[in-house]
Each structure stands twice: as C-alpha cells, then as structure tokens.
Structure 1
Amino acid sequence: MNLYFRLVWLFLWRIRHCPGISFLDTSRISYRALPFDCDVNLHLTNSRYPAFMDLARTYMIADMGLMKKFLKMKWMPIVNASEFTYIRDIKPFEKFEIETKVVGWDEKYFYIEQRFITARGLHCIVHVRGVFVCNRKQVPIETLVSEAGYYGDKPELPAEVVKWKQFLQLKKERNS
C-alpha cells in the first residue's frame, strides 16, 4: 500500500518539481526505508528494490520532460530483463537515493543503470533492459531516441552490459 501512496505522491508533487535533465544525464530521487519496506532480517527486502526502481524510472522520464509527451502518444515502458548486484543492506529508516540513467541502446532495447546509495555508500547496482510499446507494438528505438530529443552519438554500452547482453542471448538460445 505504501508504494501506491508513493506513486500518487510522485505524480501529484514530485514530478511537478523535477529539476530537468538531458537524455543521458543522471536522475536522482530519495526515499526512506520504512519498517513495512523491510523484512525479518531488518533491512530493505529484495522485493522492494524493483518497486522503488519503477518509481525512479518514472521520475527519470518526468525529469527528462518526456512524461506528458509519452503519455499523449500512449507509449508504455516495459522491462524485458534486469540484473541485480547487492553490495550491502539498507537499514530501517535509512534514507537512500536512487540514481537512474540511460547508459545506451542497441537495435531493439534501451539499457538503464540504477544505483541505490546512502550516506554509507553504494548498496545495489541494477541494469535494466526495456522497450516502449504502443498498441501492443514496440516503438522503434530510433523513434524513441529522436522523440526524446537526443541527436548526439550513441554512447558505447558499458562492458558489464555487453557481457550481460551476451548472457541473455545465450539463455534465449539454450531455452528455445
């Protein structure tokens, strides 16, 4: 239930006060780990990370100034794959920041990196692969990038994302 409250708060207040970033800049949003976000081990439960990441990606789209445009075009973001590296736990009542940025794209997908950070340092790094869809069809990545107003060079994907892509392809081939 608290994530619904956070989602409503995101749309009613936080999105209206975004500082504004460019397409490849880092978006930052802060939260606090409340007791019902935590598990019996007294840290942020693993299931909350993806939920907070959804909120942070939504905020990033608004921070880029693209929320109204994408909603008007009826574009919906879809996560295709994600990979998590947990480094240390986030304690109850601890304030944390989620840094979210587009790290690149290929012919089909865009790739996002999200980091959970507190005053104690880095807690989790996550890579997300996704697409936007409209009327059950994928929005071409070139269309997405140009509608976002980015006309620069395509950034080189980080080495860990390249390896992850290869791993995902191997999984797909072995399980087809």
Structure 2
Amino acid sequence: MNLYFRLFLLLFWRTRHCRRIDFLDVSRIQYRALPSDCDVNFHLTNSRYPAFMDLARTYMLAEMGLLKKFIKLKWMPIVNAAEFTYIRDIKPFQKFEIETKIVGWDEKYFYIEQRFVSERGLHCIVHVRGVFVCKGKQIPLDTLVAEAGYKGDTPRLPAEVVMWKDFLQLKKERNI
C-alpha cells in the first residue's frame, strides 16, 4: 500500500516540483525505508528495490521534461532485463537516495544505471535494459532520442554493461 502512496506523491507532487536535468544527467530522489518495506532480517527486502527503481525512473523522466510528453504519445517503458549487485543492507527508517542515469543505448535497447546510496555509502548498484512500446510495437531508439531532444553522440556503454549485454545474448542463444 505504501508504494501506491509513494506513486501518488510522485505523480501529483514531486514531478511538479522537480528540477530540470539534461538527457544524460543523473536524477536523484530520496526515500526512507519504512518498516513495511523491510523483511524479517530487518533490512529493505529485495523485492522493494525494483519497486523503488520504477519510481526513480519515472521521476527521471519528469526531471528530463519527458514524462507528460511520453504519456501523451502513449509510450510505455518496459524493462527487458535487470542485473543487481547488493553491497550493504538498508536498515529500517534509514534515508537513502536513488541515483538514476541513462548510460547508453544500442540499436534495440536503452541502458540505465541505478545506485542506492546513503551516508553509509553504496548499498546496491543495478543495470536495467529496456524499451518503450506503443500499441504493442517498440519505439525505435533514434525516434526516442530525437523526441527527447538529445543531439549529442551516442554514449559509449560502460565495460560492465557491454559484458552483461553479451551475457544476456549468450543466455538467449543457449535457451532458444
């Protein structure tokens, strides 16, 4: 239930009062781990990380000035794959920040890095691969980038993302 409240707060308050960032800038949003976000080990449960990440990616689009535009176009983001590395736990009532940034794209997917950080340091780093779709069809990446108003060069994917991308392709080939 608290995620619905957080989503409502995000859509109807935070997105109206957010700063403006460029397409490749880092978006930052802060949360506090509530007891209902935690498991029996008294830390943020693993299932909450993706939920918080969804909120953070939505906030990033709002900061870029793209959320309303993409909603009008009926473009829906779809996560294709995610890779998590947990480093240290987030305790109940602890404040943490999610840093979200686009690290690049290829001919089919865009790649995002999300980091959970607090005054205790880095807690989790996640790479997300996704697409936008409309009426069941994928939006071409060049169309998406053009709608975002980005005119620079395509960023070079970080080495760890390239390795992960290759690993995902290998998994796909071995399981077809």
Structure 2 length normalisation: TM-score? 1.00
Matched, 1:43 2:25: no
Matched, 1:167 2:167: yes
DSSP 3-state at the match of 1:112: strand
Cα deviation for residue 118 of structure 1 reads 0.6
DSSP 3-state at the match of 2:41: coil
DSSP 3-state at the match of 2:122: strand
DSSP 3-state at the match of 2:150: coil
Number of aligned positions between the proteins: 176
Distance (Å, rounded) in 2 between the aligned partners of 1:131 and 1:151: 19
Matched, 1:60 2:64: no
Cα deviation for residue 129 of structure 1 reads 0.1
Structure 2 equivalent of residue 11 of structure 1: 11
Alignment of 1:27-106 (within 5 A): 27-106=27-106
Distance (Å, rounded) in 2 between the aligned partners of 1:42 and 1:15: 31
Distance (Å, rounded) in 1 between the aligned partners of 2:81 and 2:117: 22
Q: Which runs of 4+ in 1 moved over 6 A?
A: none
DSSP 3-state at the match of 1:99: strand
Cα deviation for residue 172 of structure 1 reads 0.1
Distance (Å, rounded) in 2 between the aligned partners of 1:101 and 1:20: 14
Structure 2 equivalent of residue 144 of structure 1: 144
Distance (Å, rounded) in 2 between the aligned partners of 1:88 and 1:33: 14
Distance (Å, rounded) in 2 between the aligned partners of 1:123 and 1:108: 30
Structure 1 equivalent of residue 118 of structure 2: 118
DSSP 3-state at the match of 1:40: coil
Where does the alignment leave 5 or more consecutive residues of structure 2 unmatched? none
Cα deviation for residue 49 of structure 1 reads 0.1
Distance (Å, rounded) in 2 between the aligned partners of 1:100 and 1:115: 7
DSSP 3-state at the match of 2:88: coil
Distance (Å, rounded) in 1 between the aligned partners of 2:73 and 2:19: 23
Structure 1 length normalisation: TM-score? 1.00
DSSP 3-state at the match of 2:56: helix
RMSD of aligned residue pairs (Cα, Å): 0.3
Q: Percent of aligned pairs with the same residue? A: 80
Which AA in structure 2 matches 1:101?
Answer: K
Distance (Å, rounded) in 2 between the aligned partners of 1:175 and 1:36: 38
Distance (Å, rounded) in 2 between the aligned partners of 1:61 and 1:74: 14
Deviations 1:7-66 (A, max 9, x none): 000011000011010000000000000000000000000000000000000000001000
Cα deviation for residue 84 of structure 1 reads 0.1
